[in-house]
Amino acid sequence: MARRERKTVSSGSCSGFHALPEACIANALSLTSPKDACRLSSVSSMFSSAAGSDAVWERFLPSDYRDIISRSIDGADSILSEFRSKKELYFHLCQVPILIDSGTKSFLLDKETGKKCFMLAARDLFIEGGDTPEYWEWISFTESRFPEVAKLNRIRRFEVRGKINASMLSSGTKYSAYIIYTWNSRFQGFDYEPAESLVGISGHDGKKRTVCLDPRGAGYRNLPFNHRNPPGYRWRHGNVPIDHNTEYPKSRADGWMEVELGVFFVEGKEDSDVEISLMEVKGGNWKNGLIIQGIEIRPKAGCWQWRQVKGNALAVVAVAPGGRDGAGSDGCLLAAAI
């Protein structure tokens, strides 16, 4: 009986939606999420029309997207005039990183939530010894989105720092910071001592993490030298013990490697810097062969994104996005009141 009653209510709700003007449906859809709007577009032709309207996708775009695009090295006009609709612009910003601030940062949108993502180019970071050619060399790299990357020739004290103002990021969002890197045939020295990372908002205590940059994994340094594989060999984690308190590198779809350095939460439009550091200064051994593209800041996958709407007929309480690039659980509309 209860099951049959729920179906009746659902059917009546759907009929009520079809009686609403398209503009009203578009307004309701704009208060959900990009993923939900795409799913609901298959309900009917009216929903499809409403879900594709500029009114919906303008709300999914960050409120400051025009300002961010105006900082593009290609110019705002060349980007904005290329697309016929806000939906096309949205998906372009999800797929193609835009270089801003003279090519020292890139901007991208998280596809499922519309949250802002940035990558700080290596040139935008403080790198210990970065101005000394004996230690670091600045080279062009075809696989990089930036004009230059930092190539490590040799150094004992490895230290990289970056920062971004929290006001540039999406409010009410938990973010992760990642070092984006690869290596060449001379890659070595990062197996001797693990690195340490620290991520936090200025004025607040950050949390330290132990980070493994060598993709061959933990335990590699304990092997006899004549049993070690040559640089560039992809070590399988099954061959070595895994320390669950250590962050390990993961392959990305773009061919680079990444390691999560830490997480932080942006509450509102706070005018404070998010400070990120990665260092290995205890080992004292020579390190070389690392190639750094930058540090990426993007929403933490699988975390609740709170979006509360007041004084409106439709109140979306929370949306849980899935993982980036299709990984993780599906998005979920937690509660909505009509």
Whether 141 and 274 share a structural domain:
yes
Q: How confident is the model at residue 101 (pLDDT cuts 50, 70, 90)?
A: very high
Whether 252 and 139 share a structural domain:
yes
- Number of domains present in the structure of the chain: 2
Whether 312 and 286 share a structural domain:
no
Q: How far is CA 243 from the centre of its chain?
A: 25
Q: What is the dihedral of CA 49, 54, 56, 59, to 10 degrees?
A: 170
Note whether residue 77 is domain-resident.
Answer: no
Q: Is 2 helix (H, G, I), strand (E, B) or coil?
A: helix
Structure tokens at 91: 């998906």
Give the phi and the psi of residue 118 in degrees, each rounded to 5: -135, 150
Whether 152 and 41 share a structural domain:
no
Q: How confident is the model at residue 42 (pLDDT cuts 50, 70, 90)?
A: confident
Nearest to 117 by CA among 77, 68, 80, 75: 68
Q: Is the pLDDT of residue 235 over 70?
A: no
Q: Which residue, chain included where needed, has tokens 């775009």?
A: 61
Q: Torsion-angle region of residue 319: left (phi > 0), alpha (psi -120 to 50) or beta? A: beta
Whether 295 and 310 share a structural domain:
no
In the prediction, which pLDDT does 242 show? 57
DSSP 184-234: EEEEESTTSS-EEEEEEETTS--EEEEE---TT-TTGGGS-GGGSPPTT--
CA distances from 188 to 176, 230, 270 (A): 27, 9, 40
User: What is the CB neighbour count within 10 angstroms for residue 181?
Assistant: 25
Rounded to a whole number, what is the distance in angstroms from the first to the last CA of the chain? 24
In the prediction, which pLDDT does 28 show? 82
Whether 178 and 257 share a structural domain:
yes
Q: How confident is the model at residue 322 (pLDDT cuts 50, 70, 90)?
A: very low
CATH number at residue 139: 2.60.120.260
Whether 32 and 140 share a structural domain:
no
Structure tokens at 104: 């020292």
Q: Is 271 helix (H, G, I), strand (E, B) or coil?
A: coil
In the prediction, which pLDDT does 16 show? 58
Residue count (the chain): 338
Structure tokens at 164: 């971004």
Q: State how far the Cα of 179 lies from the Cα of 217, in Å rounded to an integer.
A: 16
Amino acid letter at 92? H
- Percentage of the residues of the chain whose pLDDT score is greater than 70: 75
Whether 222 and 321 share a structural domain:
no
Tens-place pLDDT, residues 178-209: 999 999 999 999 988 899 999 999 878 788 99
Structure tokens at 7: 């179906």
Q: How confident is the model at residue 98 (pLDDT cuts 50, 70, 90)?
A: very high
Q: How far is CA 227 from the centre of its chain?
A: 37
Note whether residue 4 is domain-resident.
Answer: no
In the prediction, which pLDDT does 217 show? 57
- Averaged pLDDT, 125-132: 97
* Residue 193 structural domain: 116-299
Q: Is the pLDDT of residue 104 over 90?
A: yes
Identify the H or E element spanning 207: strand 207-211
